[in-house]
Amino acid sequence: MQPQASRDSEPGPRAGPGSLGESMTTTTETPAPAAALERLKRPRSRLGRSADQSFRWLLTGFAAVVLVVLALMLVRTTYVAWPVFQQHGLELITKQRWFPGDNAFGALSFIYGTVLTSVIAILLAVPVSIGIALFVTEVAPRRLRVLLVYLVELLAAVPSVVYGLWGLLVLLPWLERHAWEPISSVLGFIPIFAGPANGRSFATAGVILAIMIIPIVTAIAREVVALVPHDHKEAALALGATRWEMLRLAVIPYARAGIIGGTMLGFGRALGETIAVALVIGGNPQISASIFQPGYTIASVIANQFNEATGFHIQALLAIGVLLFVITILVNVAGRVFVWRAARGLA
């Protein structure tokens, strides 16, 4: 039932004599057999020690690359975009008009579109992801589980431009005719569903994004659901809980923090998605309450205008890039904190 458990406490009986690699992969929490411990106590050769040292530096170097690249990106883009921040300041995030020809650079409608499409994506993706996670870990027979996990992870391997083109040519006309138009004709009196319903809209972009973030949200939800101790579940069942009650009372409360964290990571990914959104969002810098109207997102504006931009316009695009970078980092950090907390609480 719990594949994780057996993987974590893997003992080291296969360790060869004086095996350096094996000693490194054996983590400190897991009890190593006495024989292996004995071998580790023996003095190692000088070459072995220096290799150990250099391997450590090598790994540290790889880890540092990530930080350096990230810092370089942020510093460099902020540096180039600095005149824009200086000249436009807060207007960048409070004004709506974006027209490079007239030196108007207000990104409010892009920020609105970015957040709105991501929120729609989360609202659609999270329930589905939790459902998949619970089904895979608690309900599905073993063979189906493997297949399903594989298929969901396959979703993450589809290039985003393929999602975009499929969304544009297949999903968009279908949604417009069979979903958005009926919904807005019945519920159009509610501002968020106000017509005339348009295929190129926040809603369509949200659906595409939802499909794109299901893999990451599902993967994390699956992990935290699998971490729920067996005792808790058995206790619930022993008290006469049905399977549904067991999931509701024992599993979901235990996994909640991790699921929230996964949600925020999915949110961070949705914020930055570019080409798939650019193809279906409609490209109008407007703030409309209705999710069936065309809009714009930060990432798709950058994709759409960067090619033809010159001079200050490029700097302005970099400036909103920095803005997106900051928003995404904040969301991701928040998500990570949740996941860490969840993991520590469960370990």
Partner 1 sequence: MRLRPQTGVVLLALALAALALVAAGCGGSKTVSAAAATKGSSNGTAVLNGSGATFPEPIYVKWTGDFHSTHPNVQVNYQGIGSGGGIEQFTSQVTDFGATDAPMSDDELAAAKAKGGDVLHIPTVLGAVVVTYNVKDVDKLKLDGPTLADIFLGKIKKWNDPKIAALNSGVSLPDSDIKVVHRSDSSGTSYIFTGYLSAVSPEWKSKVGQDKAPEWPTGIGGEGNDGVAAAVQQTDGGIGYNELAYAIENKITYADLKSASGEFVTASLDSTTAAGQGVEYPDDLRFSLLNSKAPGAYPIVSATWQLLWRDPSKAGLNRAQARALATFVTWELSSGQKEAADLNYAPLPKDLQSAAVKALDSMTIPSS
Site membership for partner 1, residue 242 (CB under 8 A):
no
Instruction: Determine which helix (DSSP H) or strand (DSSP E) holds 246, and give its type and residue range.
Output: helix 243-246
Q: 80-106 in b/e burial notation, b at 16+ Cβ within 10 A?
A: ebeebbeebeeebeeeeebebeeeebb
The residue range among 215-223, 256-264, 276-284, 330-338 that interacts with partner 1, by the rule CB under 8 A, is 276-284
Q: Which is nearer to partner 1, 28 or 307 (CB)?
A: 307
Site membership for partner 1, residue 189 (CB under 8 A):
no
DSSP string, 140-206: S-HHHHHHHHHHHHHHTTS-HHHHHHHIIIIIHHHHIIIIIHHHHHHHTTSGGG-SS--SSSHHHHH
Q: Which two tokens stand for residue 223?
A: 């992990």
Q: Could you give the maximum distance between any two Cα atoms of the chain, in Å? A: 79
| The only residue of 133, 172, 220, 318 in contact with partner 1, by rule CB under 8 A | 172
DSSP string, 59-110: HHHHHHHHHHHHHHHHHHHHHHHHHHHHHHTTHHHH---EEGGGTEE--HHH
Contact (Cβ atoms closer than 8 angstroms) between residue 198 and residue 224: no
Q: Which is nearer to partner 1, 176 or 223 (CB)?
A: 176
| The only residue of 77, 78, 87, 305 in contact with partner 1, by rule CB under 8 A | 305
Contact (Cβ atoms closer than 8 angstroms) between residue 258 and residue 224: yes
Q: Which is nearer to partner 1, 86 or 310 (CB)?
A: 310
DSSP state of 228: S
Number of shown-chain residues binding partner 1 (CB under 8 A)? 52
The residue range among 5-13, 64-72, 81-89, 226-234 that interacts with partner 1, by the rule CB under 8 A, is 64-72
Site membership for partner 1, residue 101 (CB under 8 A):
yes
Q: Which is nearer to partner 1, 69 or 139 (CB)?
A: 69
Site membership for partner 1, residue 67 (CB under 8 A):
no
Q: Which is nearer to partner 1, 16 or 240 (CB)?
A: 16
The minimum distance between CB 308 and partner 1, in angstroms, equals 4
Q: Which two tokens stand for residue 94?
A: 């409070």
Site membership for partner 1, residue 148 (CB under 8 A):
no
* Cβ-based neighbour number of residue 273 at 10 Å: 24
Site membership for partner 1, residue 57 (CB under 8 A):
yes
| The only residue of 132, 259, 279, 318 in contact with partner 1, by rule CB under 8 A | 279
Of 129, 108, 118, 289, nearest to 205 by C-alpha is 118
The minimum distance between CB 302 and partner 1, in angstroms, equals 11
Contact (Cβ atoms closer than 8 angstroms) between residue 223 and residue 7: no
The minimum distance between CB 55 and partner 1, in angstroms, equals 5
The residue range among 19-27, 31-39, 212-220, 337-345 that interacts with partner 1, by the rule CB under 8 A, is 19-27
Task: Report in angstroms the alpha-carbon separations of 57 from 23, 44, 51, 68, 70.
Answer: 17, 19, 10, 16, 20
Contact (Cβ atoms closer than 8 angstroms) between residue 276 and residue 212: yes
The residue range among 195-203, 221-229, 231-239, 249-257 that interacts with partner 1, by the rule CB under 8 A, is 195-203
Site membership for partner 1, residue 282 (CB under 8 A):
yes
> Which residue's entry shows tokens 């017509």?
195
| The only residue of 90, 240, 308, 347 in contact with partner 1, by rule CB under 8 A | 308
The residue range among 96-104, 130-138, 210-218, 331-339 that interacts with partner 1, by the rule CB under 8 A, is 96-104
Torsion of CA 160, 162, 163, 164, to 10 degrees: 90
Within 34-53, which residues bind partner 1 (CB under 8 A)? 45, 47-48, 50-51
Residues in the site for partner 1, rule: CB under 8 A? 16, 19-22, 25, 45, 47-48, 50-51, 54-55, 57-58, 61-62, 65, 68-69, 72, 97, 99-101, 168-169, 172-173, 176, 198-200, 278-279, 281-284, 294, 296, 300, 303-310, 313-314
